[in-house]
Structure 1
Amino acid sequence: MTCIDAIQAYALRAIGIGERALPQGEISLCEQFVLIGSGMIWNVYFGVLALSFGFFFALALALAKTSPRWLIRKPAEWFIFLFRGSPLFIQFFMAYEAFVMIPRMGYEFELFGIAIEAETRWLARAWLGALIVLFCNTSAYAAEIFYGALRSVPKGDLEAADAYGLTGWKKFRRITFPTTMRLAWPAYTNEAIFLFHATALVFFSSFPAFQQRGDALYYASYFADRTFNPFIPYPIVAGYFIAVALLVIALFGAINRRLNRHLPSDQKRRLRIRPTLIR
């Protein structure tokens, strides 16, 4: 099979488009690149959705943690402590066991006298269950980052806002939020990179791949077992993750420059990538 044939057959296999059967017999290097790249679609899916939804939830958690009312502050503190204090790998297993306990055929309830059945069996699948775990995990870490940035907003900026008569939502939108993002963005960039790396753990969790449509590590493991040579597929996976990390750095770097566009060049906060080795 040529590289063109491999691309046509396996480029979108991870999402159910193309050949259903995995390569057998002699496996070419091109087939490994294409199929592992196809599996990266799921890793990008997990990372993008978890970051997108987690950003807003993390901001809400950070604001709740700064609230003087303990009924609002304590649940946010407990949530952050729980997901920052426990390993992500354990969170995958605990969530899977909890989701399996929910009836897979659905949950029936009545709304205004109408019987409604909520589908729950997909919670035990990787595309939804693992996404929920990643969403909660990154929300907790990002919330702590945003909380620290909120506490670091210069008092002079807030006093100037009060002097101009800015209060409530207008003060938050024009002063507090932009300054918080400017202070938190370098650290949040590191969290985004780690999250994409953490998507590789989905393969080792209990969440099964739907119809053998696995992520990048799923195909790398298959090739390593078939060829008895792990030194080809796993470096390919690493290369793909490095490429994704470079894209994240470029995108978040552009956002960081946008956030700091009003500052002199000597005062702009530069992105400093500090990979997290152990979480």
Structure 2
Amino acid sequence: MSCLQTIQDYALRSVGIGERLLPKSDITLCEQVTLIGSGLIWNIYFGALALLFGFFLATGLALARNARNPLLRKPADWFIFVFRGSPLFIQFFLAYEAFVLLPRAGFDLNLGFVEITLATSWLTKAWAGALIVLFLNTAAYSGEIFHGALRSIPKGDVEAADAYGLHGFSRFRRVIWPTMLRLAWPAYTNEAIFLFHATTLVYFSGFPAWRQKGDALYYASYFADKTFNPFIPYPIVAGYFILVTLVIILIFGAINRHLNRHLPQTARPKMKFRLQVIR
């Protein structure tokens, strides 16, 4: 089988398109690169959607933590504390077990004029259940980052907004929110990078890979077991994630330059990236 034929057969294998059976003998380098790359589709899916939805929840959590009303502040404090204080692996495991314990047939919801059944079985699927966990986890970490940036906004900026007659939501949208993002963006970029790396835990924490539709690390582990040689599939996974990291750096770097476009060139903060060994 040529490498081109292998790509046609397995490039979309992780989403159920292509050959159903995985190679079991005489495994080639092209098959490993193709299938692991196919699994990366799921890592990008989990990371991109969790980051997108988590961004908005993180903004709300930061504002709630900064509120004077304890009814807003305390729930945000505890939400962030719980998700930052517990390992992500355990969060995946507990979430899956909780979703399994829900009635598989669903909940009956009586609206008076009609009764409908809310299905819950889809929550045990990785595409939904694991995404929810990643969304809540990154929202907690990002919320803490945004809260720190919110408290670091110079008072002069807020006073200047008041002097120009900006109040309420107008002041938040034009002054507070952009300044908060500008201050938080370098740290938020590191969180985005780690989130994509954390997606490799999905199929090793409780959520099963139905019909062998897994992520990049799932296929790397499969090849390592079949070939008894982990020094080929795992470096391939690392190479793919290095490429993903470079793309994130380029995209977030462009956004960072846009957020700081009004500052002089010498005053613009530079992006710094740190290796985060443990969550």
TM-score normalised by length of structure 2: 0.99
In the alignment, the residues of structure 1 paired with residue 20 and residue 263 of structure 2 have an alpha-carbon distance, to the nearest angstrom, of 54
Amino acid in the other structure paired with 1:274: R
Amino acid in the other structure paired with 2:99: F
In the alignment, the residues of structure 2 paired with residue 256 and residue 250 of structure 1 have an alpha-carbon distance, to the nearest angstrom, of 10
Give the superposition deviation at 1:59. 0.4
2:68 is the counterpart of 1:68: yes
In the alignment, the residues of structure 2 paired with residue 81 and residue 67 of structure 1 have an alpha-carbon distance, to the nearest angstrom, of 17
Q: Residue in 2 aligned with 1:102?
A: 102
Q: Residue in 2 aligned with 1:201?
A: 201
Amino acid in the other structure paired with 2:93: F
In the alignment, the residues of structure 2 paired with residue 260 and residue 179 of structure 1 have an alpha-carbon distance, to the nearest angstrom, of 9
5+ residue gaps in structure 2? Answer: none
Q: Residue in 1 aligned with 2:255?
A: 255
5+ residue gaps in structure 1? Answer: none
In the alignment, the residues of structure 1 paired with residue 200 and residue 42 of structure 2 have an alpha-carbon distance, to the nearest angstrom, of 10
Give the superposition deviation at 1:140. 0.1
2:211 is the counterpart of 1:173: no
In the alignment, the residues of structure 2 paired with residue 257 and residue 234 of structure 1 have an alpha-carbon distance, to the nearest angstrom, of 34
State the Cα deviation string for residues 12-45 of structure 1 (Å, max 9, x = none).
Answer: 0111111111012201000000000000000000
CA RMSD of aligned residues (A): 0.8
State the Cα deviation string for residues 149-191 of structure 1 (Å, max 9, x = none).
Answer: 0001100000001111100011001100010000000000000
Equivalent positions of 1:153-164 (< 5 A) are: 153-164=153-164
Q: Residue in 2 aligned with 1:37?
A: 37
2:150 is the counterpart of 1:150: yes
Query: What secondary structure does 1:108 align onto?
Result: strand
State the Cα deviation string for residues 27-68 of structure 1 (Å, max 9, x = none).
Answer: 100000000000000000000000000000000011011111
In the alignment, the residues of structure 2 paired with residue 122 and residue 238 of structure 1 have an alpha-carbon distance, to the nearest angstrom, of 31
Amino acid in the other structure paired with 2:202: V
Query: What secondary structure does 2:256 align onto?
Result: helix
Give the superposition deviation at 1:91. 0.7
State the Cα deviation string for residues 88-124 of structure 1 (Å, max 9, x = none).
Answer: 1111111111111111222211123311111111111
Query: What secondary structure does 1:248 align onto?
Result: helix
Q: Residue in 2 aligned with 1:232?
A: 232
Query: What secondary structure does 1:135 align onto?
Result: helix
In the alignment, the residues of structure 2 paired with residue 42 and residue 126 of structure 1 have an alpha-carbon distance, to the nearest angstrom, of 10
Q: Residue in 2 aligned with 1:191?
A: 191
Give the superposition deviation at 1:218. 0.9
2:217 is the counterpart of 1:213: no
Q: Residue in 1 aligned with 2:89?
A: 89
In the alignment, the residues of structure 2 paired with residue 165 and residue 191 of structure 1 have an alpha-carbon distance, to the nearest angstrom, of 35
Query: What secondary structure does 1:278 align onto?
Result: coil
Give the superposition deviation at 1:267. 0.6
2:47 is the counterpart of 1:47: yes
Query: What secondary structure does 1:183 align onto?
Result: helix
Query: What secondary structure does 1:80 align onto?
Result: helix
Q: Residue in 2 aligned with 1:269?
A: 269
In the alignment, the residues of structure 1 paired with residue 86 and residue 133 of structure 2 have an alpha-carbon distance, to the nearest angstrom, of 12
Give the superposition deviation at 1:83. 0.1
In the alignment, the residues of structure 1 paired with residue 30 and residue 78 of structure 2 have an alpha-carbon distance, to the nearest angstrom, of 48
Give the superposition deviation at 1:73. 0.7
Query: What secondary structure does 1:54 align onto?
Result: helix
Q: Residue in 2 aligned with 1:21?
A: 21
Amino acid in the other structure paired with 2:117: E
